[in-house]
Structure 1
Amino acid sequence: MSEIALRTVTGVLMILTALTAEWFGGTAFAILVAVAATAIYYEWAKMVRGWGIQWHVAGFFFALLPALSLLWVRERGGEPAGSQGFELVLWTFIVTWSADIGAFFTGRTFGGPKLAPTISPNKTISGLVGGLVAATLLGGIWAANQGLHWVWLMLAPFFAFAAALGDLFESWMKRQAGVKDSGRILPGHGGVFDRLDGLVPVAVLTAAGVMAGLG
């Protein structure tokens, strides 16, 4: 099986798992989020071994905050009927996934100048632009279709950019640690941290938007 085919199959399975757990919510979603957060911290801890205790503390909060954000947005209690927790978590997924997939295929198709060659030599400016466009279109379509606050349409490209920064940050960590991937659990993708690095900032920012009254 080719690398792209393997990545595609694994990616589809991950997306289906996330969508199923989010659909059911409650315990199913909590378990998935807890497993993902634990995996992120485990892979972070392996990379920063010998860097100092502060990096382990930072990793704990790095894994915890997006997990709490997703759970709170999806299942926040005491909200009035009509609160859009499910729709907003799915919007978070759509923005992150489309930014990642759009960047991957646009970068491979058009190439061009490197985005941050000293951090991640494979990432290109065209890939970043493609990811922002994909996230803006798909995130905007979902927000409009589900009747989300109009601000979410405007936030999609900014949150997609935050996802790209999360990806670059993890690439920097891997370069400092001298590893290619954060783990090997996901065929064609590497580790859980490799796949969820962009979701971390988007989840936290989405929760902040809800706290600001946009949910």
Structure 2
Amino acid sequence: MSQGGTWGDLSERMISGVVMVAVGMACVWAGGLIFHILIALVSGLMVWELVRMLDSDRVRTPKVLAAAAGAAVLIAGEVSPAYAMPLLLAPSMLGFGQMTRGGPTYAVFAALILLAGYGMMVVRDDFGLIWMLWLVLVVVATDVAGYFAGRLIGGPKFWPRVSPKKTWSGTVAGWIAAGALGASFAAMTGADMSLVPLSIAISMASQLGDIAESAIKRRAGVKDSSTLIPGHGGLFDRFDGMLGAALFILIVGQLVGFPPGIA
């Protein structure tokens, strides 16, 4: 998410944000199939946005690949991990034959979207509500701290060629907010304090997801991934950080013994 500019879009962003949070939290709370359906819907729509950015001349292809992606994630959530993996990669393979431009980029990012969606389902199903909330709140805290610090403090740009409004002040503020949130969750849950650096790493992964999406938009020559969400652009714009965070925890969760310090 951008960290510079004016405050003119704040009210619209807040209203849309409240609606998204309400729907998202209700589904996270419910868990199970309801949460899986939400993740499948979001994943499918993000693939739709991805195809439209990379290959705007195609009319039918975005819908076909979005439907395939959503179905793959939904089914993957109901089968064992061994069967889930080929399902999650199948839409990437399908896209090679459907895209006229940007096929390799599509294949990589579609796979990342679906794997990240699967990672969120794993966190909710295997570790429970509290740790799904931790993951979401780390990403939100990173985003919010970056948004306000970038506007209030400003300063040097993080990577002006790709994300010209993102600042180092906002980036570091996101790390600090994530670390503080990790310390709070450690105190509440009995996890050890290694949750603090893990939360900071999750914050960094979410920022990398944000930067990767910015690079795609710059390559495609678009400001937003779509106009689905007033004040926020598209779902890819809103959930790019969650992609990086969920994918990171899916990969490293076993390495660090997640949740840390809890048997």
TM-score (norm 1): 0.90
Residue equivalent to 1:45:
51
1:59 is aligned to: 109
Q: Residues 68-106 of structure 1, C-alpha deviation per residue, up to 9 Å, x if partnerless? A: 111112113xxxxxxx32222111101111101110110
Larger radius of gyration: 2
Alignment partner of 1:182: what SS? coil
Aligned residue in 2 for 1:36: 42
Distance 2:46 2:146 in 1: 22
CA distance in 2, matches of 1:144, 1:154: 14
Q: Which moved more, 1:138-147 or 1:183-192?
A: 138-147
Partner in structure 2 of residue 122 of structure 1: 165
Which stretch shifts more, 194-203 or 7-16? 7-16
Q: CA deviation at 1:163?
A: 1.1
**Whole-angstrom distance in 2 between the partners of 1:177 and 1:5:** 28
Q: Which residue of 1 aligns with 2:187?
A: 144
Moved more, 160-169 or 100-109: 160-169
Correspondence list, 1:167-186, <5 A: 167-186=210-229
Is the 1:103–1:130 Cα contact (8 Å) retained in structure 2?
yes
For 1:104 and 1:132, locate their aligned partners in 2 and report how far apart those are by CA, in whole Å: 13
Q: Give the C-alpha shift of residue 172 in structure 1.
A: 0.9
Greater CA drift, 195-204 or 42-51: 42-51
Does the Cα contact within 8 Å between 2:112 and 2:247 map onto a contact in 1?
no
Between the aligned partners of 2:134 and 2:252, the Cα distance in structure 1 is 12
Q: Which runs of 5+ in 2 are unaligned?
A: 1-6, 56-99
1:9-24 to 2 correspondences below 5 Å: 9-24=15-30
Contact 2:186 2:193 in 1 (8 A): yes
Q: What percentage of aligned pairs have identical amino acids?
A: 35
RMSD: 1.7
TM-score, normalised to structure 2, is 0.74
Length, aligned pairs only = 208
Q: How far is the alpha carbon of 1:21 from its aligned partner?
A: 0.7
Question: Equivalents in 1 of 2:21, 2:32: separation in Å?
Answer: 18
C-alpha separation in 2, matches of 1:109 and 1:164: 19
- 1:214 maps onto 2:258 in alignment: yes
Task: State the distance in 2 between where 1:109 and 1:141 align.
Answer: 25
- In structure 2, what residue type is equivalent to 1:166? G
- 1:67 aligned partner, one-letter code: G
One-letter identity of the residue aligned with 2:132: V
The question of 1:163 aligning with 2:206 is answered: yes
* TM superposition outliers: structure 1 runs of 4+ over 3 Å: none
- Answer yes or no: is the 8 Å Cα contact 1:99–1:160 preserved in 2: yes
CA contact (8 A) 1:144 1:153 kept: no
